[in-house]
Amino acid sequence: MKTIENISRMTTFVKMMKKEGRSIGLVPTMGCLHEGHMSLVRAAKKHTDVVVMSIFVNPIQFGPKEDFEKYPRDLKRDEELARDAGVDVIFYPSLKDMYPEGYATYVTIEALTKNLCGGSRPGHFSGVATVVTKLFNIVKPNIAYFGQKDMQQALMIKKMAADLNMDLEVKIMPTVRGKGGLAMSSRNMYLSETESKDAVILHQSLKQAESLIKGQERDAKKIIKTIEDMIKSKPTAKIDYVAIVDTKELRDVKTISGEIMIALAVFFGNTRLIDNITIAVK
């Protein structure tokens, strides 16, 4: 495994791989790797010849009161995990290389970004779309891999790739869960022991909602109320949003029908966690 810290060297490597006819899989990350990231690497190894993992904590997707400065960074640990998982190249660009002085170009996606996390984190998805576009242009992957935990982000990137005729496939892989069903996230390390125990209510409430739908409940408002009541039973929890949306435009629905996503964002102490499930209803 090699670590490349310079954009020009990365593009040279990509040209060499393409000349040899080798396909490239990209796993974009902000580091602080966990099993969720490793599952994306394993998928990439099955489908492509060369697996590139980018590690870059992207400042333009963080709001002014968010955790950019304290976001966990440990390249040595990440390199060990990536090597064990079979990553071929870590792309670890500097902030100055990615956003040089005078940088002024940003990608904005109108659809899919106004609701859910888009309402809570203005500017976040433009920051994500911009950095992912840059990574796609630098690495030129045949396939890029994203996790369902960040489903709104993944759907947005999939639409961006289609709308801008990007020559690649975006694969959305299942959420990886830890003890109690808590979705794997780099931010889980911020949780205290009590907050970590409380946070399993997210998956529990989503599974309860799924059970209600399987039992023929179709009133979205009632299902949301059930989820909110379960989450509010935990003393460290503070709800940002709970929503039920369609999976094509991510608009709130009143009645459950077709394919829907139940999505939520909840603070446990100062740590904001997200989760979701998708359900198809005939």
How far is residue 21 from each of residues 16, 48, 125, 142, 162, measured CA to CA in Å? 9, 11, 33, 11, 24
Whole-angstrom distance, CA of residue 23 vs CA of residue 12: 15
Q: Which run of H or E residues covers position 199?
A: helix 193-199
Q: Given 34, 37, 124, 203, which residue is catalytic?
A: 37
In DSSP terms, 245 is beta-bridged to: 252, 261
CA dihedral (247, 112, 42, 200) positive or negative? negative
Q: Tell the burial category of 174 from Cβ atoms under 10 Å away from its Cβ (0-12, 13-18, 19+).
A: exposed
Q: What b/e string do you get for 183-221 counting C-beta neighbours within 10 Å, with b at 16 or more? A: bbbbebebbeeebbbbbbbbbbbbebbeebbeeeeeebe
Active site residue 203: no
Just list the catalytic residues.
Answer: 37
